[in-house]
Amino acid sequence: MSTATHAHDTHGHDHAHAHDHHGPPAGFSRWMYTTNHKDIGTMYLWFSFAMFLMGGSMALLIRAELFQPGLQLVEPQFFNSLTTVHGLVMVFGAIMPAFVGFANWLVPMQIGAADMAFPRMNNWSFWLLIPAALLLVGSFFVPGGAAASGWTLYPPLIIQQGMSIDMTILAVHILGASSIMGSINIITTILNLRAPGMTLMKMPLFVWTWLITAYLLIAVMPVLAGAVTMLLTDRHFGTSFFNAAGGGDPTMFMHIFWFFGHPEVYIMILPAFGIVSQIIPAFARKPLFGYASMVYATSSIAILSFIVWGHHMFTVGMPAAGNLFFMYATMLIAVPTGVKIFNWIATMWKGSMTFETPMLFAVGFLCLFTIGGFSGLVLAITPVDITLHNTYYVVAHFHYVLVSGALFAIMAGIYFWLPKWTGHMYSEGLGKLHFWLSMIGFNVAFFPQHFLGLAGMPRRIPDYALQFTEWNQISTVGAFIFGFSQLLFLYIVISTIRGGAKAPDRTWEGADSLEWTHLPSPVPYHTFETAPVVK
């Protein structure tokens, strides 16, 4: 790969090469027709933030209803729709697109490529999110209300509801197509567009984690597509996949769904590992400890993710041998995950540490994700899970890994790369305020849910017994602190885009991937049209 070419015409006619270096076209068509990885990354990130606010509003409505026992604000059916769509919107609308946005911005720059391998398909991956989001959110307004089955879409409940289920299923299909195309693009870019000298084991860890994530996505999104297709035909075309009367089994859906679902949770955390693995060395001013073991640990987590799905269904009556297998396989994942945690700690050991906002979020990630990982180990123990299944303990567990895990890493990444993207420094004071508000709000919201779960409060129910009141009230207060402090985040990001102190090219002295060492801040519209040579 010596030079790269940007063609700026649609029919392959001749154009002067000077055109290759102009900036983006003006107006809305820039965003609709773009094939620029940076534009597409930006659109992914804004879409993700919009969906984050939407899913967050649903969460706040849920917490408001749960402020007191009894029914105050919403009907139980609507409450179920809120929990369902909150989950789907956050998983498929907020977390995953945010990481794809990071991949779009960073993967080409970090491997020294001019763009993604398939720029047009890249744009389609993004624009498919819009119809999917419209279907998903629009399903609130059709007869019967939005899907109320929980985000896992279990039959037989989901067979019975109205047309919103069909909208949800088709939204999942479109999201799946988007994810598969996005992943093929990322994986091809990484395998085929690396700059000379950028060997696989020299790639920044963020690129490595996305390579493995893309593999997981291509492997499991089609399985989800198959599962929801079977739901659709069971609903409308008389098949009996999940109907025991016809020889099928609702449990079968759970198996197929969680064969997708467990790799899916690693899809949402591996890129977070990648981001944190970029940030911690930068602020410890030391190279990442154990680079190769990080790569192997990430791969091990990915491979193990295919054989642990049964831990989501310990209570459905699998044979004892199945429960045991899934219990031990799940615990095995603690080994590579522990390798990663210890590597991050060893990276910080005797480093010249400073704690700017990205590092605060990264350290917050490290502490809180570890708590989420440990509660995951608790839930992996079959006999323990049988009492904790479908309680708030599970809710607390997966919010520790998804909010203080994935989302904190996203926040850390935004603060880390915003100076590179916009050319401006964010306000460090406001950033720190955002971090501490998020940190306190999050823990006040979710730590008490461990106690509620251990005491037996079931999830997905709009009412609860009186003895759960105090912790629920504390949790709701924390959730509102956390939720509204994200408006501060929005303000910080917008004001950084619009102005602020000039960011140096190498904003963080310890950051050493190509976008910091080879490119100015802000990065020009086209980068690495001549590939750098990596030594």
Point out the residues that are catalytic: 86, 115, 151, 178-179, 262, 264, 266, 277, 311-312, 337, 340, 459
Distance CA 109, CA 516 (A): 9
Closer to another protein by CB, 155 or 431: give it.
155
Closer to another protein by CB, 34 or 209: give it.
34
Q: How many CB atoms are located within 10 Å of the residue 138 CB?
A: 14
Q: Which structure tokens are listed for 21?
A: 């270096």
Closer to another protein by CB, 139 or 209: give it.
139
Residue 391 and residue 458 in contact, taking contact as beta carbons nearer than 8 Å: yes
Closer to another protein by CB, 219 or 492: give it.
219
CA distances from 343 to 86, 270, 288, 469 (A): 34, 15, 8, 41
Q: In the bound complex, what is the minimum distance in angstroms from residue 12's beta carbon to another protein?
A: 5
**Which residue in the block uniquely carries the two structure tokens 């609860």?**
464
Q: Among 200, 371, 342, 195, which residue's Cα sits nearest to residue 280?
A: 342
Q: In the bound complex, what is the minimum distance in angstroms from residue 143's beta carbon to another protein?
A: 9
Q: Among 51, 132, 144, which residue's Cα sits nearest to residue 89?
A: 51
Closer to another protein by CB, 15 or 21: give it.
15
Rounded (10°) angle between helices 291-304 and 270-284: 160
Distance CA 246, CA 241 (A): 8
Q: In the bound complex, what is the minimum distance in angstroms from residue 521's beta carbon to another protein?
A: 23
Q: Among 440, 438, 469, which residue's Cα sits nearest to residue 455?
A: 469
CA distances from 137 to 65, 132, 164 (A): 20, 9, 10
Q: In the bound complex, what is the minimum distance in angstroms from residue 273's beta carbon to another protein?
A: 22
Closer to another protein by CB, 324 or 345: give it.
324
- Say which residues have a Cβ less than 8 Å from residue 336's Cβ, sequence separation at least 6: 296, 297, 298, 300, 301, 304
Q: Among 282, 290, 267, 438, which residue's Cα sits nearest to residue 358?
A: 282
For residue 69, whether the previous peptide bond is cis, meaning omega lies within 30 degrees of 0, is no
Q: In the bound complex, what is the minimum distance in angstroms from residue 116's beta carbon to another protein?
A: 8
Q: Tell me how far apart the 2 most distant CA atoms of the chain are, in Å.
A: 75
Q: Which structure tokens are listed for 65?
A: 């209803």
Q: What are residue 458's DSSP bridge partners?
A: 391
Closer to another protein by CB, 61 or 170: give it.
170
**Which residue in the block uniquely carries the two structure tokens 């602190």?**
481
Q: In the bound complex, what is the minimum distance in angstroms from residue 123's beta carbon to another protein?
A: 4
Specify the DSSP element, H or E, that contains 36: none
Q: In the bound complex, what is the minimum distance in angstroms from residue 52's beta carbon to another protein?
A: 21
Residue 175 and residue 92 in contact, taking contact as beta carbons nearer than 8 Å: yes
Closer to another protein by CB, 255 or 459: give it.
255
Closer to another protein by CB, 133 or 288: give it.
133
Q: In the bound complex, what is the minimum distance in angstroms from residue 212's beta carbon to another protein?
A: 13
- Say which residues have a Cβ less than 8 Å from residue 450's Cβ, sequence separation at least 6: 375, 392, 393, 396
Burial string for 203-214 (b: 16+ CB within 10 Å, else e) reads: bbbbbbbbbbbb
